[in-house]
Amino acid sequence: MNMNNDFELKINKLAKDIINSDSRIIGIRGVSGSGKSTLLRNLEGIYCGEAIYFDSSIIIFEGSIEENILMGRKISFELNPLLKEIFFYEARLQDKNFYLDRGNISTGQSQRIGIIRDIVDSINRVILIDEPTSALDYKTSTEFFNFIFTNLDKFCIKKLIFTSHSSFQDKRVHFFDIS
Amino acid sequence: MYTINLLKYLSKQTIYLGVVSIFLSVIAAFIDIYFAISLNNNETISILLYIGVLRFLLGLLFIWFFIKFSMNSEINMKELTLNIDDNEKRINFFNNYSISIAHILLTGWVRIFSETLVLLVLSSIIFIKYLEVIKLIIMPALITIPLLALYFFALKNSRKLATKEQLNYINHILTILPIIERARIIGTVHFIRDKIINTAKIYKIAYARSIFFALSTKPIIEILVLIAIIYFYSNKNTIEPGLIYIGYRVLGSIYSVFNNLPIVFHYEQQLKQSGL
């Protein structure tokens, strides 16, 4: 009972600190089971409609990259050259008509498509993403994060809050440790 | 045939119920012959009524065994789910295929088999007692049978194509459906609705063609019967009441067989192509 209360108090305090933080990019670090996802869910409730929470599951369906990212939203690749940059290091994924199925892309590629899908049209909301780069190696995740952080305005992200258990570092990110 | 591979999975009780169903149909056919002969012999109304009631009770008993067979075979097929490795296929088999196999494929074959036996029994009495009629229908039969064979060939092919397109469509949509929670969050559920509607085009055409062939079976048989009757009367023939009754039963059995054949073809193709 006490442990539950302590845990709740810790989560609530961290949530308050995160909301009060002026930083636009916030990282929550901690080991597995430390309560990172609970904290994100908590924040989603506090922001009340202003935030969207995306869990770590990434589902890629049969269809082009464009379809997988936009899922019916009206943003064209031609109008938004930004999206072309996302897969700058993989030629075949630059082709918007490249047809995805379960067998022809890696978990890391799926994850990058999934994150872009979540943030591409944020309409000035707080984005809460759980373990966005868990399937990426350090170099790729650093490049990918750098790309997102540089383009926060273009993605219309008011505030980006993500969880990570990696040792990722970036001076633009205000990290909160949960342990 | 794919169905034969399934028989080994049926329990002894299910097989017993299926065999009894077929046996009861054949007995009913013999009662039909007895009824037809009684009609021709001008038996009393009460005797005809007794035979009629006996025939009716036998029909009900057949239905009861047939339903029991159908239900038991469904549970037998559901047990088969344990042999499937892929989880998605397992769920699909438990929810859909096991039901289709039992209530359409297996019961369809039992119906085809029992009605074919009934046809043989009824045809034998026509052959023995009404040889003149056989002579009269041989010519039209020689013309219509190849045409019917051609029709069923087209029907089977249309079923094959429809099943292929149906599976392609279902499998494609199944890969999209898990994304529905994400679509709800970002407000694009319409995207999945559009996918369900727009990717169905090829499937709809193939399936409509196949249903057209299946539904056309009845009017085609009806027109052939009309032609046969006109041909029969144009040769100044008269018909005994017993023959009318047997003819009616023969047509009923022919219709049951031809009605079930396209359906069982369809499910056999579907199961073959599903890789289950």
**What CATH number corresponds to the domain at position A87?**
3.40.50.300
Q: What residue has token string 């990058």?
A: A112
CA of B175 to nearest chain A CA: how many angstroms apart? Answer: 5
Q: What is the pLDDT of residue A83?
A: 67
CA of A135 to nearest chain B CA: how many angstroms apart? Answer: 19
Q: What residue has token string 């630059």?
A: A94
Within B130-240, where are the H helices? 131-176, 180-186, 189-198, 201-234
Rounded to an integer, what distance in angstroms lies between the CA atom of residue A149 and that of residue B186? Answer: 21
Rounded to an integer, what distance in angstroms lies between the CA atom of residue B78 and that of residue B46? Answer: 48
Regarding an ipTM greater than 0.95, the answer is: no
Interface check B87 vs A, CB under 8 A: no
Q: What is the pLDDT of residue A114?
A: 83
Q: Length of chain A, please? A: 179
Q: Do B191 and A62 touch (CB under 8 A)?
A: no
β-strands A99-100, A63-64: how paired?
A: antiparallel
For the CA atoms of B215, B217, B219, B225, the dihedral, rounded to the nearest 10 degrees, stands at -160
Within chain A, where are the H helices? 2-20, 36-47, 65-70, 82-86, 91-94, 107-119, 138-150
In chain A, what residues touch B175 (CB-CB under 8 Å)? 61-62, 101-102
Share of chain B above pLDDT 90, in %: 32
Residue B117 sits at φ, ψ, to 5 deg, of -65, -40
- Model confidence pLDDT, tens digit, residues B9-45: 999 999 999 999 999 999 999 999 999 999 888 888 8
Q: Return the DSSP state at B96.
A: I
| Adjacent-strand bridge partners of A175 | A27
**Chain centre distance of CA B173:** 29
CA atoms within 13 A on the CB side of A39: 33
CA atoms within 13 A on the CB side of B178: 13
- Torsional class of A124: left (φ above 0), alpha (ψ -120 to 50), beta (otherwise): left
pLDDT band with cut points at 50, 70 and 90 for residue B276: low
User: With a CB-CB cutoff of 8 Å, which residues 154-193 of chain B face chain A?
Assistant: 172, 175-176, 178-179, 182-183, 185-186, 188, 190-191
Question: Which residues fall within 8 angstroms of residue A70, CB to CB, at 6 or more apart?
Answer: A117, A120
Q: For residue A178, give the nearest of A3, A7, A2, A4 by alpha carbon.
A: A7
Q: What residue has token string 């809460």?
A: A128
Q: Return the DSSP state at A120.
A: T
Q: For residue A178, give the nearest of A4, A14, A23, A21 by alpha carbon.
A: A14
**Chain centre distance of CA B157:** 17
| Adjacent-strand bridge partners of A176 | A28
Q: Do A71 and B190 touch (CB under 8 A)?
A: no
CB atoms within 10 A of CB A13: 10
- Model confidence pLDDT, tens digit, residues B116-166: 999 999 988 888 877 777 777 777 778 888 888 888 888 888 888 988 898
Q: What is the pLDDT of residue B58?
A: 94
- Residue by residue, pLDDT tens for chain A (179 residues) are 455 778 888 888 999 999 999 999 999 988 888 888 899 999 999 988 888 888 888 888 888 877 888 888 877 554 466 666 665 555 555 566 667 766 677 777 888 888 888 887 777 889 999 888 887 888 888 888 888 888 888 888 899 999 986 677 888 999 998 87
Q: Do A73 and B178 touch (CB under 8 A)?
A: no
Q: What is the pLDDT of residue A1?
A: 47
In chain B, what residues touch A121 (CB-CB under 8 Å)? 186
Structure tokens at B111: 């119906």
CA of B181 to nearest chain A CA: how many angstroms apart? Answer: 10
- Model confidence pLDDT, tens digit, residues B205-248: 998 998 888 888 878 878 877 877 787 778 777 778 888 888 88
Q: Is the pLDDT of residue B74 over 80?
A: yes
Q: Is the pLDDT of residue B105 over 80?
A: yes
Rounded to an integer, what distance in angstroms lies between the CA atom of residue B19 and that of residue B13? Answer: 10
**For B187, nearest residue in chain A (alpha carbons):** A73
CA of B83 to nearest chain A CA: how many angstroms apart? Answer: 24
- Give residue A92's domain range: 3-177
Residue A174 sits at φ, ψ, to 5 deg, of -95, 110
For the CA atoms of A143, A149, A153, A159, the dihedral, rounded to the nearest 10 degrees, stands at 140
Rounded to an integer, what distance in angstroms lies between the CA atom of residue B230 and that of residue B242? Answer: 19
Interface check B194 vs A, CB under 8 A: yes
Q: What is the pLDDT of residue B63?
A: 93
Q: How many domains does chain A have?
A: 1
**Chain centre distance of CA B7:** 18
pTM of the model: 0.67
Rounded to an integer, what distance in angstroms lies between the CA atom of residue A87 and that of residue A90? Answer: 5
CB atoms within 10 A of CB B149: 9
In chain A, what residues touch B176 (CB-CB under 8 Å)? 61-63
CA distances from B42 to A62, A67, B33, B34, B242 (A): 72, 77, 14, 12, 10
Q: Return the DSSP state at A98.
A: P
